[in-house]
Structure 1
Amino acid sequence: MKTITFIRHGKSSWEYQVSDKDRPLKERGINDAKLVAKKFKNLNNKSDFAYSSPANRALHTSIIFTRILEHNLDFLKVVEALYDFSGESVLKFLKSLDNNLDSIMIFGHNYAFTTLVNTLGDDYIENVPTSGLVQIKFDVTNWNNITKGTTLITIFPKDLK
């Protein structure tokens, strides 16, 4: 069994004159990420490893989760392929993962994540919101074989407020 937990980065700020990769989280993005991470922790989910897009907003979201889930930063790796908006690069990355890992978390972007959770999961989700989490389980032992899985968990900030 392989499990992927998709977490879209928190709400980011457009008020700074910085590149897309450097946009920071807004206060709401920080607070929503904390809410979702705490809810996820209370479900006693365990992941083997986490990967984040190099974009500031995704990396900051991943660090919030890493701390709340009580992992050290060795649990997290930045991967350029996750800075993707179509989903093609993300899917290629997922299919290349080490088969010794069974459950991973990835932090990234829309429209890639909404596209992938609808392609790979069995529940239609109109839009994965900022700080939104969707977990999908696959009945395979090799990451290269992931196709259609079962959507296990969705946690969206609006449902926690």
Structure 2
Amino acid sequence: MKRLILVRHGKSSWKHDLPDHERPLKKRAYRDGRKVAGTFKEFYSPTATLWSSPATRALETAKMFKEELKVPDKMFTIRQDLYTFDAKELLEIIKSCPDTIDKLIIFGHNPAITNAVNSLGDKNLDNFPTTGLCVIDFENYKWERIKTGRTIITLLPKNLR
């Protein structure tokens, strides 16, 4: 069985005139990130691999989860190709995951994350919010063959406040 956890980066700030990939998180994103990560910790069992987009807002979100879940450095990778907004590209990245990894956490961007949550899981959301987390299980042992899985957990910051 494979478990995919998709996390949309925290709410980013438009306060400064910066390139898109350098936009930082807003203060709210840190509160939401700690709340979602802390709640997810109750469901989490170790040995997940974390992959993050290199964009500041995604990477900072990923680092909050890494710290809260006590993920070792060797299980944490920054992937340039995760700076994508395209669901097809995101799906190809997910399907490229080595089969030795059973649990994969991805930190990425919309609309790719919303589209992936809706196409891979069995519950639809109009718009997956910032710092939202979705766990999808697949009755499959090869990442390249995943299709529709079962959405088992959806954590949305507004529901945890």
TM-score, reference length from structure 1: 0.97
Name the Cα RMSD after superposition. 1.0
Q: Amino acid of the residue matched to residue 103 of structure 1? A: K
Specify the alignment match of 1:13 in structure 2: 13
Local SS of the residue matching 1:126: coil
Alpha-carbon distance, 1:73 to partner: 2.7
Q: Amino acid of the residue matched to residue 27 of structure 1? A: K
Q: Amino acid of the residue matched to residue 62 of structure 1? A: A
Alpha-carbon distance, 1:87 to partner: 1.1
Specify the alignment match of 1:115 in structure 2: 115
Query: Does the 8 Å contact 1:47/1:105 carry over to 2?
Result: no
Alpha-carbon distance, 1:17 to partner: 1.2
Q: Which runs of 5+ in 1 are unaligned?
A: none
CA distance in 2, matches of 1:55, 1:134: 20
TM-score, reference length from structure 2: 0.97
CA distance in 2, matches of 1:52, 1:142: 21
Local SS of the residue matching 2:5: strand
CA distance in 1, matches of 2:73, 2:15: 29
Local SS of the residue matching 1:137: strand
Specify the alignment match of 1:152 in structure 2: 152
Q: Percent identity?
A: 40
Query: Does the 8 Å contact 1:66/1:75 carry over to 2?
Result: no
Specify the alignment match of 1:132 in structure 2: 132
Q: How many aligned positions are there?
A: 161
Q: Which moved more, 1:144-153 or 1:39-48?
A: 39-48
Q: Which runs of 5+ in 2 are unaligned?
A: none
Specify the alignment match of 2:41 in structure 1: 41
CA distance in 1, matches of 2:92, 2:86: 12
Matches within 5 A, 1:23-102: 23-102=23-102
Alpha-carbon distance, 1:47 to partner: 4.3
Q: Which moved more, 1:111-120 or 1:41-50?
A: 41-50
CA distance in 2, matches of 1:90, 1:11: 20
Runs (4+) of structure 1 moved beyond 4 Å?
none
Q: Amino acid of the residue matched to residue 6 of structure 2? A: F
Alpha-carbon distance, 1:13 to partner: 0.2
